[in-house]
Amino acid sequence: MEFPVWQLTTLGGGFWIALISVVHVYVAQFAVGGGLFLVVIERMARKSGSKEFMDYAKRNSKFFLLLTMVFGAVTGVAIWFTIALLAPDAALTLIHQFVFGWATEWVFFLAEIVSLLVYYYGWERLSARDHQIVGGLYFFFGWMSLFMINGIIGYMLTPGEWLETGNFWDGFFNPTFWPQLVFRTALSVTFAGLFGFVTGTLIKEEKSRGTVVRTCAAWTVAGMALVALTGMWYIHSLPPAQYQLAMEESARVEWFMNSFWWVGIAVLVGGLLLGIRMPRSLGFPVALVVLLLGLGLTGSFESIREAARKPYIIWGERYSNSILPEQMPEINEKGFLKAAKWIPADLRDVTAENELEAGRWLFQYQCASCHSIGGPMNDILPHTDKYTEAGFDAFLSGMGKISRYMPPFAGTPDERAALSAYIVRDLHGLEPGELAFAEPGEADVPEYDPEEAEFVLFAWADKGLRFVSESGIIRLRPSGETLNASLIYRGMLPEIVSEGMSVEYELEQGYPEASGTMTPGDYGGFKAEGIKVEPYSDEGYSPYPIATVTAKDETGEVVAQTKAVLPVGMRMGCNNCHGGGWQNNEEEAGMSADTAMDILMVHDRINDTALTEKAKSGEVVDCAACHADPDIGEEGRDDMLNLSAAMHGFHSVYLKDRGQDACNFCHETPMYRGIHADMGLECVACHGDMTTHAGSLLLAEREAGIEAADKLLAVLEPDEEFVQPRKPWHQEPDCLSCHEEFAAPYNVDAANQWTEEKAQLYSQRYGDVGAVRCAACHGSPHAVYPAMYDRDNMQPLQYQDNRRPIGAGNCSVCHTMEMDYPAHHPGMGLE
């Protein structure tokens, strides 16, 4: 942020640092182990008295000089040059913090160079004893150079108490200093054996060749044994946060870890094969293969170490994109483009005209340090091809909060949207899609003659809209609408009738056939559960199908008939983030198989489950088998979050602070269409924003002893003095929170004022007198009268030719006498 950026695309994402540093580290660690190897081989050659052996020792020292001193020094300088371009802030931190450490290391390095030159040119000029002493000094200076660099490199992953003290020694002798030093020393011994194989297999004289190759095999086998032991020590010395990232969370680290051990086994086997006196013609090619495997061993270990410190380049001190954690609040408030010093002036503010260009600069500053564009290192394209523009924006807002291997996005919502637009529109060539709103169609109001009718029939759905999600791979929300009905005999004192009558329902034409007979309910009415309804009609996606409800007496004569909406939706916005399009592309609805599989893969990665394999075997993954769903009576597992808490808790991390937009993001079929919506109230007025909505569910789960709730609550940070715990589907906003004494509200804010039990829910509640449910007169949840659309207002239109609640100013719908007091509840509006 303080420096210009080297704008890379294909060869970005740390490609140059990875390429140069892995080769340099391989050669540098060989230089340490090889220094001791030189002395051992020289001693063996002098004792053997073999001219061939002695000539090999001299040639080997020349090879060693050219590779370690010349090539090693050049690649070392190349590392500094590259990090100065790609991560100048981090490079400056290392220099400023460890200036005397680097100075000491350079002294050892200078001594290393001088002693190596003296060793190489001293074969004929020094006595055998002095020559070997010089070789020993070279090894000592080389190992001390490793000693110094080890402290600085280790500090980047495990700074320990340095974060609080800023003390040089706390950073240098960090928690992994000693295990990493011993581990790298073991690697150095191994690499000396691997390089020795290459030169040793070229010795023409068989006896000398056999001695050298067997010595190299012993070094390799012993070195790998030490690598295995010290590697475990090193891993288990990591602090909890780094250990968890390396061993439990990051699939990328796991891949490198597996590669390290498999390549290590291959190196061990190769060393043993070379040690059995292979023919000279075969030994050299095998030695080269084993040498390349050693490079793979280095690369996999360095990748583990790099990945394990994500999202930081210096753990806890500086993010991988060089932004300091303490800078985040100010950047998020004022904007990254204003804070970065080298951004073009015309990009300081995001506009519709510069949005994509602003996004490109944001990518280079915040993403390119780890991601390339179409390149070999961590290509951004396959990681983002599943997202819509809105989906990637949501991902950015939650980045680094659950999956901690990436830093949080730094900037304003407009800048976040600009980066999303650049990724989706520019890099992937996609356009932001928008769903057409599914307008409810007109409906014929049933006939009703108040002079002749003996009965009135009311019917309503249990839910404002039931989302259904059954992909054949995941069973998230099963189909199964619930329809309620109340048949009332009109009179001076009307009666609810359930005996001697039958009530049937039938879905309107144009939808798949659905009909049946309702059973007596537990409130003197009728109920039909598990009605299979899909939101498809002959006219396309139609989420508001109408059921005709008919009441008959024992002779089969129709005594009353009405209509009610059975709202059902299949537009859940899962594919915004999980890709895959729609199950029904023509109607843009339903969860596709690709979307479902991506959901399972994400679940497996985050929770260490094996649901993807389960789905591939043909078994449907039922979410409620593990996550309790009180709505359908599934108990799930008592050690896991219930389904609502898990779904809203996890996704709220990505959708918090978005108000109503968060609801619309996932629930893409509007369910909220009653008088409250017509007045401009939104979901959040009753349910709260995502922090409140999810926080209330998670707080209840924490009280129930579910440990998984703590991790999500730590990210959401709801105000626990304000947010009240609740059980989903059983505790919802209470109408009387706003409508005190059933009066018109003076304060519209029902969030965190939950009903105490399921019987108090609006869909289950009764009036003060009689067994008439609130919904019989006021309509279905989320579609209360007067609703926005006449499809939801059919019963008040049928019975009283207006859209007001049943009986509002018209008690004669049920009563055959004038009523002068509000029998069911106060404030009924009898006038």
Region 455-569: CATH code: 2.60.40
Least trusted range by pLDDT, from 197-211, 341-355, 632-646: 197-211
Query: In terms of pLDDT, which residue wins out, 629 or 741?
Result: 629
In the chain, pLDDT over 90 holds for what percent of residues?
Answer: 76
At residue 189, the pLDDT reads 96
Asked whether the predicted pLDDT for residue 744 surpasses 90, the reply is no
Candidates 392, 313, 377; CA nearest to 153 is: 313
For residue 786, cis peptide bond before it (omega within 30 degrees of 0): yes
Rounded mean pLDDT, 352-370: 96
Query: In terms of pLDDT, which residue wins out, 702 or 682?
Result: 702
Q: Give the position of tokens 């349910």.
A: 687
Asked whether the predicted pLDDT for residue 327 surpasses 90, the reply is yes
At residue 432, the pLDDT reads 79
Residue 731 DSSP label? S
At residue 162, the pLDDT reads 96
* Residues 773-794: tens digit of each pLDDT: 999 999 999 999 999 999 999 9
* pLDDT band with cut points at 50, 70 and 90 for residue 605: confident
Distance from C-alpha of 100 to C-alpha of 670, rounded to nearest angstrom: 65
Rounded mean pLDDT, 496-520: 93
Region 15-318: CATH code: 1.20.1630
Residue 591 DSSP label? E
Q: Output 497-500 pairs: Cβ under 8 A, ≥24 positions apart.
A: 497/455, 498/524, 498/525, 498/526, 500/553, 500/554
At residue 524, the pLDDT reads 81
Distance from C-alpha of 252 to C-alpha of 244, rounded to nearest angstrom: 13
At residue 318, the pLDDT reads 95
At residue 326, the pLDDT reads 95
Rounded mean pLDDT, 445-472: 93
Q: Which residues of 613-626 are buried (b: 16+ CB within 10 A; e: fewer)?
A: eebeeeeebbbbeb
In the chain, pLDDT over 70 holds for what percent of residues?
Answer: 98
Distance from C-alpha of 103 to C-alpha of 111, rounded to nearest angstrom: 12
* Residues 675-697: tens digit of each pLDDT: 998 888 889 999 999 999 999 99
The crossing angle, in degrees rounded to 10, of helices 177-200 and 206-236 is: 160
Instruction: Report the largest interatomic distance among the alpha carbons of the chain, rounded to a whole angstrom.
Output: 128
Write the DSSP string, 696-717.
Answer: HHHHHHHHTT-THHHHHHHHH-
- Which residues, other chains included, contact 353 with Cβ-Cβ below 8 Å and sequence gap of 6+? none
CB distance 336 to 350 below 8 Å: no
* Residues 149-207: tens digit of each pLDDT: 999 999 999 999 999 999 999 999 999 999 999 999 999 999 999 999 999 888 888 88
Answer yes or no: same fold for 325-427 and 455-569.
no
At residue 324, the pLDDT reads 96
At residue 643, the pLDDT reads 97
Candidates 763, 788, 791, 790; CA nearest to 778 is: 763
Structure tokens at 397: 């807002």
* pLDDT band with cut points at 50, 70 and 90 for residue 764: confident
How many Cα atoms sit within 13 Å of 731 on the Cβ side?
16
* Residues 809-822: tens digit of each pLDDT: 788 999 988 887 77
CB distance 802 to 792 below 8 Å: no
Candidates 497, 493, 456; CA nearest to 817 is: 493
For the chain, give percent helix, strand, coil, nearest 5: 50, 10, 40
CB distance 86 to 322 below 8 Å: no
Asked whether the predicted pLDDT for residue 272 surpasses 80, the reply is yes
Distance from C-alpha of 735 to C-alpha of 274, rounded to nearest angstrom: 81
> Domain-by-domain residue ranges, the chain?
15-318, 325-427, 455-569, 579-613, 622-730
- Which pTM value belongs to this model? 0.89
* Residues 475-504: tens digit of each pLDDT: 999 999 999 999 999 998 899 998 899 999
Candidates 35, 63, 219, 58; CA nearest to 133 is: 35
CB distance 215 to 40 below 8 Å: yes
Q: Which residues of 308-335 are buried (b: 16+ CB within 10 A; e: fewer)?
A: bbbbbbbbbbbbbbbbeeeebeebbeeb
CB distance 168 to 210 below 8 Å: no
- Which residues, other chains included, contact 363 with Cβ-Cβ below 8 Å and sequence gap of 6+? 380, 419, 422, 423
Distance from C-alpha of 216 to C-alpha of 210, rounded to nearest angstrom: 10
Structure tokens at 228: 């295995």
At residue 258, the pLDDT reads 87
| Terminal Cα-to-Cα distance of the chain (whole angstroms) | 69
Cα torsion through 357, 362, 363, 365, rounded to 10:
130
Q: What is the average pLDDT value for the chain, to the nearest integer? A: 92
* Residues 292-312: tens digit of each pLDDT: 999 999 999 999 888 888 899
* pLDDT band with cut points at 50, 70 and 90 for residue 128: very high
Asked whether the predicted pLDDT for residue 831 surpasses 70, the reply is no
- Classify 325-427 by CATH class: mainly alpha
- Which residues, other chains included, contact 196 with Cβ-Cβ below 8 Å and sequence gap of 6+? 34, 37, 41, 60, 212, 215, 216, 219
